[in-house]
Amino acid sequence: MVNRYLNVIPLDDALALLSREFTCIPSAENIPLETASGRITARPIFGSYSVPEIHLAAMDGIAVRSVETKGASEQSPVTLLMAARVNTGNVIPPGYDAVIMIEDVWETDGNYTIRRSASPWQHVRPAGEDLAESEMVMPSLHCIRPHETGALATYGITRPEVITVRIGLIPTGSELVEAGVRPAPGQVVESNTIMAGAMLESAGARCTRYSFVEDSPDKIRTALKKGCGENDIVIISAGSSAGTKDYTAAVIAELGEVLVHGIATKPGKPTIIGRVDGKPVFGLPGYPLSALTVIRELVLPFLRNYGLPVPEPETIPAHITSAYPKEIGSDEFVLCTLGKIGNRWIISSQSRGSGVQMSAVRANSYLRVPRASEGFNAGDLVDACLMVPEKEAENALLLTGSHDPLLDHLADLSRPSGISIISTHVGSMGGILSLKKDECHAAPTHLLSPDGSYNTAYLHKYLPGIETGLIFVAGRQQGIVSRENLSLEELPGHLFVNRQKGSGTRMLLDFELKKAGIDPTVIPGYEREVTTHIAVALAVKSGEAEAGMCVYSAAKALGLPFVPVVEEHYELAFRGDHTDDPRLKSLFGVIRSEPFAKVLTRLGGYDPTRTGSLRWVD
């Protein structure tokens, strides 16, 4: 096996090399005050005039010379020779040095009488009280906070000068189509530079996204020259591997030099760092999660060298639910879901391919596993890096177990109460085992016992002595999805797509086939496993399989024929000691709500008769 990369180095070394090789001077730009929040001053800002410039009344009343008021009291009121009516904010006339509140003044025929003396400068806003001419308002490299825009307006600063880093983003690839165009087979929506742009701009960079460039060295060369002329940094998206159409490294080498080709991270290995016209040029891997990782772990930290404030992620110690073994040598970055069960934080990795952008949508956290580490054992305490505010992570409700399309709708209907439902599809048995380990808030489950009862026997068996509850979500129809209206009895000889072992649907199918006297080995593809009802229906729709078993709503969503096999009970199991968990209570409220009843009707194949009823198992 050939080493496809010229020069693979650890991430830390790549960051050190960037600091060593490049003098990072930010660009500066003057921007409208209304857009200045979160931006970083390029220079110190000094007051060019005092605020206020002249003494002002701080109260409604009369301006007086305090010496004239001496000795005034209830017993010996003083009628003033010199006094001027002022409202708050009015200029104090020259020679006057105090204001008496209007409530303390008696006026007769234009004369003012007072019964208390005034101290010099009382109720006066002296010139420069807020800011004196020549004083500094804020230093350079200060992050302008929203409320400070008001102060800057007052001090006459309407277009503050702030720093930025101009970053050119060049998408390459002949297969690309613009977002909004449905890609034909083999085409791909260009999304990596959109993502990179949003991530880099949130740190204060100013990104320019260039037109798509075909896989042609000449065209990439032209684009790179232009990008280097117009920016402080250039990022070329895709073409950074060492395949036949990967021209990025060659073009950078031609116009300048390649400093690094390959960084020892997973994902993100096919990354290039080069220099053209003295400017850093990055080659970004094409897989979205690789690109995400390289932007987050390499480019964003590098922007700190320019003075942009890139916060470190907040971390929380959490127990990892499954072992995460790894080989020494690469830093690995794992997208995860995190939630709080009782007082323990629980984290689970989402071990999926780097083309699965949904992993980054579902994730609320990630793990950094250092290159010297051999990974984690199940239960280890690890540092979860947060991708959402901690409060949002606390409001995560972990549902682990059987999949059903209505879980998406439960998640949506729970949002108004602030709950973020995170569903993990490990099948009913997986859910029961997660509940046993107290690693989820509730487990969706539909496990049939030989006596015809659902779920209770399994809770008795796997959580003996632990009080648990079951809330009924819906009765639901399971059946055969196909393109040709196949029934259970017609499955032999047809290419099948199955659910994973331990899922209630797989157990149900095994049970029903046995009842019907059908040997699974005569069903081709029986060993091909996917983890959701929708994935089964989609495999059938795409032609990957001829039939599978799923719930009615999944077949309906994809417009496929469905032959019912059985109606079963889909319930949520939870531990009795979490009954008062406000997240669970909120979910129960949603299950019992009118909007959820409407969802059941709309999706189809659900029986709402017992929806929301609760029973206890002990």
Q: Is 28 in the site for a second copy (CB under 8 A)?
A: no
**Closest by alpha carbon to 333, among 392, 382, 274, 283?**
382
Cα 593–chain centre separation: 28
- Cα(618)–Cα(608) distance, integer angstroms: 26
Select the residue interacting with a second copy from 77, 217, 229, 243 (CB under 8 A).
243
Closer CB to a second copy, residue 36 or residue 435?
A: 36
Closer CB to a second copy, residue 126 or residue 301?
A: 126
Select the residue interacting with a second copy from 20, 75, 108, 185 (CB under 8 A).
185
Closer CB to a second copy, residue 187 or residue 373?
A: 187
Question: What's 453-506 look like in SS3?
Answer: CECHHHHHHHCCCCCEEEEEEEEEEEEEEECCCCCHHHCCCCCEEEECCCCHHH
Cα 252–chain centre separation: 33
CA-based end-to-end distance of the chain: 58
Sign of the alpha-carbon torsion through 79, 81, 86, 88: negative
Q: Is 150 in the site for a second copy (CB under 8 A)?
A: yes
Instruction: Please give the residues from 459 up to 518 whose contact with a second copy meets the rule CB under 8 A.
Output: none
- Cα(215)–Cα(541) distance, integer angstroms: 33
Select the residue interacting with a second copy from 24, 151, 255, 617 (CB under 8 A).
151
Closer CB to a second copy, residue 422 or residue 432?
A: 422
Please state the closest distance from residue 9 (CB atom) to a second copy, in A. Answer: 23
Closer CB to a second copy, residue 142 or residue 319?
A: 142
Angle between helices 217-230 and 248-255 (to 10 degrees): 60
- Cα(77)–Cα(513) distance, integer angstroms: 106
Closer CB to a second copy, residue 10 or residue 52?
A: 52
Instruction: Please give the residues from 107 up to 146 whose contact with a second copy meets the rule CB under 8 A.
Output: 120-121, 125-143, 145-146
Cα 60–chain centre separation: 51
Closer CB to a second copy, residue 300 or residue 463?
A: 300
**Count of residues in the chain:** 618
Instruction: Please give the residues from 320 up to 339 whose contact with a second copy meets the rule CB under 8 A.
Output: none
Closer CB to a second copy, residue 44 or residue 217?
A: 44
Binding mask 401-440 for a second copy (x = CB under 8 A): ----x--xx-xx-xxx----x-------------------
Instruction: Please give the residues from 557 up to 586 whose contact with a second copy meets the rule CB under 8 A.
Output: 557-558
Q: In this structure, are strands 614-617 and 562-575 parallel, antiparallel, or unpaired? A: unpaired
Select the residue interacting with a second copy from 24, 105, 195, 457 (CB under 8 A).
195
Q: Is 360 in the site for a second copy (CB under 8 A)?
A: yes
Q: Is 353 in the site for a second copy (CB under 8 A)?
A: yes
- Cα(474)–Cα(402) distance, integer angstroms: 13
Q: Site for a second copy (CB under 8 A): how many residues?
A: 127
Please state the closest distance from residue 295 (CB atom) to a second copy, in A. Answer: 8
Closer CB to a second copy, residue 154 or residue 586?
A: 154
Select the residue interacting with a second copy from 5, 8, 22, 50 (CB under 8 A).
50
Candidate segments 352-360, 465-473, 478-486, 568-576, binder of a second copy by CB under 8 A? 352-360
Q: Is 60 in the site for a second copy (CB under 8 A)?
A: yes
Find the angle CA(10)-CA(15)-CA(17) to the nearest 5 degrees.
Answer: 90
Q: Is 153 in the site for a second copy (CB under 8 A)?
A: yes
Q: Is 198 in the site for a second copy (CB under 8 A)?
A: yes
Closer CB to a second copy, residue 312 or residue 451?
A: 312
Q: Is 154 in the site for a second copy (CB under 8 A)?
A: yes
- Cα(458)–Cα(464) distance, integer angstroms: 9
What separation in angstroms does the CA of 533 have from each of 2, 203, 520, 577, 593?
A: 41, 40, 20, 31, 25
Q: Report CA dihedral (511, 517, 520, 523) to the nearest 10 degrees.
A: -120
**Closest by alpha carbon to 337, among 393, 395, 417?**
393
- Indicate the SS3 state at residue 286: coil
DSSP for 27-81, please give it: EEEE--GGG-TT-BBSS-EE-SS-BSSS-EESSSEEEE-GGGGTT--SSS-EE-S
Please state the closest distance from residue 141 (CB atom) to a second copy, in A. Answer: 4
Closer CB to a second copy, residue 110 or residue 180?
A: 180
Q: Is 245 in the site for a second copy (CB under 8 A)?
A: yes
Closer CB to a second copy, residue 31 or residue 457?
A: 31
Q: Is 386 in the site for a second copy (CB under 8 A)?
A: no
Select the residue interacting with a second copy from 53, 230, 374, 489 (CB under 8 A).
53
Binding mask 61-100 for a second copy (x = CB under 8 A): --------------------------xxxxx--x------
What separation in angstroms does the CA of 91 have from each of 63, 87, 410?
A: 9, 9, 63
